Amino acid sequence: MIDSIKKIPSFKRTMNIVFFLLTGYKDFGYFEIGPANAFYSYNLIEGFRLRFGGRTTPKFSKKYNLESYLAYGFKDEKYKYYFGGTYSLTDRTIFEFPVKSIKASYQCETKIPGQELQFVQEDNIFLSLKRGVNDKLLYNKTFKIEQLNEFESHFSYSLGYEFIQQTPAGSLFYNYNDYLLHQNSINHVNISRINLTLRYAPYEQFYQGKSYRIPLIGKYPVFQIQFSVGAKAMANEYNYSLLTLGISKRFYLSVFGYTDITCEAGKLFGRASYPYLFIPRANQTYSYQLQSYNLMNFLEFVSDEYASVFIDHYFNGFIFNKIPLLKKLKFREVVSSKFLYGNVTDNNNPSYHNDIFKFPVENNGIPITNTLEAKPYIEGSVGIANIFKFFRIDYVRRFTYLNLPNVSSNGIRIRFKIDF
């Protein structure tokens, strides 16, 4: 009966639509187009932006995966593009664990400094609407090659090299002397470095999607170490290295629900300007992002050493199940808090050196980019999850650095979330 149903044209059309909406890709056999949510987007620098692309499928080849897209901004009148290829070192595709592959790519693309998204494209149409001032952009020309090796034990490493030619745009400038003297600004900088990432996630389970692998959080901790080295001998502007450590763990608290805690710490060794430093993951959209600071502005802070803690507690119905209507609706209550400690040492502070870019300021001289030396950045939220099985709504409040310009002290954020 199932075989017969699959041959019915109306059923096939319905399944194709559902597959396209859930994955963002339309399969044409040997290749597929997508992701659909990136076909259109908008920002102040590029204006209306159209993008079209796709990639090959395992039906084309299990060993090779090719991907490309072309985008165009109608305001800046510039083309953006991407060409990439991945070669599987096993008889499996790159979508099957454990992956062993080599990937090379070249990309000409824009980037908002400080925006790092999880499991979603940065030019997603749903992220086009942003709060506050969002007129700082980077044009990056990036060549990257990396080798990924995963093991059955869920230990993995990736080793690679990347070269980025980075050009500031909008109201963002690179200047050694005075940020407001735009005529003396530097056209671009080169970022050339070797990257090594070690990750260990014992007994990890995950959902393998078309674009991202989404982990299913369990009781075991996840460890990650990232180390990068850049040198003038590699056509770099500075000699420096970056070390980042991270650990995340879920704690089960019986009837009180469970708590997810993620800790990170990073340190830059050497001397470098702020584009090379740690820029916290900020969020100026109206979506709620788990590993970003949802009331922090892009490029609001930089650090050459930092430590952060993300805490999310899910009561799992401990409170709402005592209220008949909410129990029937199966709403779930959640509270979160985020802390960021940071510092810019004298070695990388432009106030003490003339060979380091000045921090961005407004036309009246008020700083846009700041350090975190006085006190930590803190924000918290309370929310309702499992709304119609898919949505989460949070009220977010910021507790520190409220005197900085263009700051939002509170707001409502929405997250589309599927619990497995």
| Alpha-carbon span 265 to 346, nearest angstrom | 19
Q: Which residue has the higher pLDDT, 388 or 336?
A: 336
Residue 267 belongs to a domain: yes
**What average pLDDT does range 173-197 have in this prediction?**
88
Total structural domains in the chain? 1
Res 197: pLDDT: 98
How many CA atoms does the CB half-sphere of 103 hold within 13 Å? 21
Res 292: pLDDT: 94
Q: Which residue has the higher pLDDT, 414 or 124?
A: 414
Would you state the structure tokens that stand for residue 214, as one six-digit string? Answer: 């989404």
Please state, rounded to an integer, the average pLDDT across all residues of the chain: 89
Would you state the structure tokens that stand for residue 211, as one six-digit string? Answer: 């674009």
Residue 252 belongs to a domain: yes
Res 10: pLDDT: 74
Phi and psi at 46, nearest 5°, equal -85, -20
pLDDT > 90: what percent of the chain?
63
| Alpha-carbon span 251 to 220, nearest angstrom | 9
Residue 103 belongs to a domain: no
Res 247: pLDDT: 98
pLDDT > 70: what percent of the chain?
92
Res 71: pLDDT: 95
| Alpha-carbon span 244 to 263, nearest angstrom | 11
8 Å CB contact between 146 and 103: yes
Confidence of residue 233 (pLDDT cuts 50, 70, 90): confident
Place of tokens 């401990």: 318
Q: Which residue has the higher pLDDT, 183 or 371?
A: 371
8 Å CB contact between 216 and 420: yes
**What average pLDDT does range 317-343 have in this prediction?**
93
Place of tokens 């001289």: 365
Res 103: pLDDT: 97
Res 124: pLDDT: 65
Confidence of residue 193 (pLDDT cuts 50, 70, 90): very high
Would you state the structure tokens that stand for residue 171, as one six-digit string? Answer: 């109201």
Res 21: pLDDT: 64
By mean pLDDT, which of 18-32, 91-105, 196-210, 265-279 is the weakest? 18-32
Residue 28 belongs to a domain: no
Instruction: Please determine, for residue 155, whether its predicted confidence score (pLDDT) is greater than 90.
Output: yes
Which domain does 351 fall in, by range? 238-420
Each residue of 140-150: pLDDT tens digit? 999 999 999 99
Confidence of residue 417 (pLDDT cuts 50, 70, 90): low
Res 194: pLDDT: 96
Residue 20 belongs to a domain: no
Provide the H-helix boundaries in 131-261.
none
The C-alpha angle 284, 287, 289, rounded to 5 degrees, equals: 85
Helix (H) or strand (E) holding 2: helix 2-6
Residue 132 belongs to a domain: no
Res 183: pLDDT: 67
Cα 311 from chain centroid?
18
Residue 60 belongs to a domain: no
8 Å CB contact between 241 and 229: yes
| Residues counted in the chain | 420
Residue 76 belongs to a domain: no
Res 420: pLDDT: 46
Q: Which residue in 212, 101, 82 sits closest to 146, CA to CA?
A: 101
Res 209: pLDDT: 73
Instruction: Please determine, for residue 379, whether its predicted confidence score (pLDDT) is greater than 50.
Output: yes
- CA torsion angle 97 102 108 111 (round to 10): 40
- Could you give the maximum distance between any two Cα atoms of the chain, in Å? 76
| Alpha-carbon span 324 to 301, nearest angstrom | 45
Confidence of residue 41 (pLDDT cuts 50, 70, 90): confident
**What average pLDDT does range 44-73 have in this prediction?**
93
Confidence of residue 126 (pLDDT cuts 50, 70, 90): low
Res 122: pLDDT: 57
**What average pLDDT does range 342-355 have in this prediction?**
91
Confidence of residue 345 (pLDDT cuts 50, 70, 90): very high
**What average pLDDT does range 52-76 have in this prediction?**
94
8 Å CB contact between 264 and 307: yes
